[in-house]
Amino acid sequence: MASDAVRDDAADSVTKSDTEGDRPVALPSRGRVRAARAVLALGVLVTVMGLSIVLACFIDDRTIEESRGRAVAEVVDTSLIRTVVRFNTDEGRVYIPPNGILYPADLQPGQLVRVEYDSRNPDLVRVAGRTAVLSLLPVASLLAVVWAVLLPVYYFLRRPRAH
């Protein structure tokens, strides 16, 4: 039964190629694969954090809407991390939220500004008329920059090394 015998080059005759000229496929090293996965994990982590910030802003806005108090506040101090205001609650109590005010862009010390606050918890206060929508642009910009940097790094780490 000579017809049942398998020839050594049977696979080459089907694919019409020979294996002598083929080079082994260069794969990224294990270290590079791990580094690429770490880069992706970092990107996912930053994305989740950014989306969490936006979600928290919407939750804060909803909380203020559920029990809204209104006042005119004086901007006491501004810094890189917070803007401090002083206002009178509906009960007539002078209040200074220790964590500052939400959405404080373009406020200056001494300025009077209308605020809305959670009457159950006056620590939660925002500039009147400003909402969580304002958080979308900075978070989206940050995420765009993060992924614009991380995706090329990921691609570089995943591509095969030249021999």
SS3 51: helix
List the one residue out of 73, 78, 86 whose CA is nearest residue 113: 73
Helical packing angle, 30-66 and 133-158, nearest 10°? 170
Please tell me the pTM assigned to this model: 0.73
Range with the poorest average pLDDT among 26-35, 58-67, 98-107, 140-149: 26-35
Statement: residue 73 has pLDDT above 80: yes
Task: Return the exposure string of 12-38: e unless at least 16 CB atoms fall within 10 Å of the residue's CB, then b.
Answer: eeeeeeeeeeeeeeeebeeebeebbee
Mean pLDDT of 35-63: 96
List the one residue out of 159, 153, 116, 139 whose CA is nearest residue 49: 139
> What is the rounded average pLDDT for all residues in the chain?
86
Q: Give the per-residue pLDDT at 45.
A: 98
Cα–Cα separations (whole angstroms), residue 154 to 27, 30, 62, 121, 158: 14, 14, 38, 45, 6
> Are the C-beta atoms of residues 126 and 115 closer than 8 Å to each other?
yes
Statement: residue 120 has pLDDT above 80: yes
Mark out the alpha helices in 96-158 (DSSP H runs): 133-158
Mean pLDDT of 105-113: 93
Q: Give the per-residue pLDDT at 31.
A: 80
Q: How far apart are CA 141 and CA 90, in angstroms?
A: 38
Statement: residue 152 has pLDDT above 80: yes
Range with the poorest average pLDDT among 7-11, 33-37, 46-50, 84-88: 7-11
Q: Give the per-residue pLDDT at 58.
A: 97
